[in-house]
Amino acid sequence: MASSRKWRPDPLDAARAALARHAAPGSRLALGLSGGLDSVVLLDILCTLAGPLRFHLSAIHVHHGLSPRADEWAQFCAELCRARGVELTTAKVAVDPASGQGLEAAAREARYRAFAQVDADYVVLAHHRDDQAETLLLQLLRGAGPAGLAAMPVAGAPRPCAGPRLLRPLLAVPRSALEDYAQARALAWVEDDSNADLHRDRNFVRHRVVPLLEEHFPGARETLARACALQAEAARLQEALARVDGAGAVGPERLCLGRLRELDAARARNLLRHFLAWHGVPPLSARRLEEALRQLLEARRDAAVAVPLDGRQLRRYRDTAWLVTPVPLPAGTQTGIQWRGERWLPLPWGGVIELEPTKGVGISAARLRQGAVMVRLRQGGERLQPDCRRPRRTLKNLLQEACIPPWERDGLPLLTCDGEVVWVPGLGVDCRYRCSPWEDGVNPRWVRS
C-alpha cells in the first residue's frame, strides 16, 4: 500500500539544484546568518555543498541591537562559524524605530543595507515556502500589484552598483522539512522571542491567519506559494511590455514624456513604474504613481515639477522626465575659492576642476595672470560671450539655450578673473580670454563628484 504521507522537497536536494542553476563555480557566497533554525540549516547545507559545487562560503550576522540577547546571538553565530571554518562578519546596524515605517520595516531596511555592503557575488538567505506564503498575504493587504505579489524570487536580478545579488535556495521547501532536517542532523540554534509577538504583522499572519487558512483549506501554504509563481510570471510580462514601450524613450535617469502620452493609462503607468524600478526607486503606491504621472503629463509647461521619491526627485524639463538626486549646496559657497595655479582644484560644493596646461587651447594663461582667479557659483546677472560672432549674453539665456536643466544651473562652477566670468562648463570660454595659437593656455574641465 502506498504511503499517505505527502511528498516534500528535500532541503539539501533543493539547495543543490538552485545553487547549481544560479551560482557558477568560483562564486563567492555570503550566508545571512541570524542563528535561527532556518539559517543554521542553510549553513549546514552550504558547508556540505561548498566543495562539490566549488563556491567560496562566508557568512554575515546583522546585529540589530534591538533585543537584550543580541550579543548572545552574535556570539553563538561566531562560535558556530568558527567550528565549521567559515569566515564571519558581524555588522552592527542602527535601527530607527521613529522612522515612520515601523520597527519591522526599519530593521529589514537596515539589514539589507548591510547585505549590500558585503564583498560577495551572492548573499544567500534562508527564506522558505512558508515565508513566501506569508509575504504574499502581507502584500495583498498592502494592495500590491503583480511585482509585489510575486513576493521573493529565488535569485534577485542583477543591478549595477547595487551590491551582491540575493539568492534563496530553500524557497520551494516548507519549514517543516527544515525542522526535520535540523533534528536529523542534531543542529543547535537560537530562538528569537520576538517571533511570538503578535503585534508584528508577519507574526500575526504566521501564527493566526495561516493556521486558520490551513484548517479550512488544507495545503494553503503550498497553494499561496504557487500563486506567487504565477504573479512572478505576470510581473515578467509587464516588464517585457515596459521594455517594448520604452524602446528609444528611456535613457540613463531620463524618460521621454512623449512616449507616455502615446500609451493608454495602464501602459503609461506600467512604463513609469518600471523606469523607476530600473533605477532602484522603491515601489510607489498606486496613488503616488498616479499623481506622479499626472504632474509629469498635465502640469503647466512652466511649472517646476518635482515629485519626491525616497531621497530623489522626479523632475520635468523639455518634455522629459529626469530622475534627480538633489545636492544641497553648503553654506558660504557663494564666496568661492581662489585658484593659485594648481592642476586640481577641489570644490567645497562637490566635484573638482582640472586646469590642464596647454598650448593654443583653452584660456589664455597670460590673461589669467593679470587678475585674481576665483571659482564660484552663480549669483545672478552674470554675462558671457562664448561665441565671438554674437554679443555678450546673460548666463540665464545661454544655459537655457544649451538645454542645461534648471536644477543643475545653480551648482555650475564659474571660473572668474577679477569678477568677470571667464569659463562655464557646458558653455565654454569667453572670447576675451580665449587662448591664441601657440600661446600658453589652461584647459578647464569640471569633474563631477
Looking from the CA of 55 toward its CB, the CA atoms found within 13 Å total 27
Residue type, 302: D
Question: Are residues 162 and 116 in contact, defined by beta-carbon separation less than 8 angstroms?
Answer: yes
Does the annotation place 39 within a ligand binding site? yes
Q: Residue for cell digits 521613529?
A: 98
Per the annotation, does 37 bind a ligand? yes
What's the rounded Cα separation, in Å, for the pair 194 and 206? Answer: 13
Query: Running DSSP on this structure, what letter comes out for residue 205?
Result: I
Residue 14: name the closest of 54, 41, 51, 34 by CA: 41
Q: Kindly compute the dihedral angle of the four CA atoms of residues 310, 311, 317, 321, in this order, to the nearest 10 degrees.
A: -40
Q: Is 67 annotated as a binding residue?
A: no
- Bridge partner residues of 56 (DSSP): 28
**Contact yes or no for 325/314 (Cβ under 8 A):** no
Distance of alpha carbon 187 from alpha carbon 277, whole angstroms? 40
Residue 35, annotated ligand binder?
Answer: yes
Q: Residue 103: CB partners within 8 Å, gap ≥ 6? A: 66, 95, 97, 200
Residues in binding site for ATP: 34-39
> Which residues sit in the known binding site?
34-39
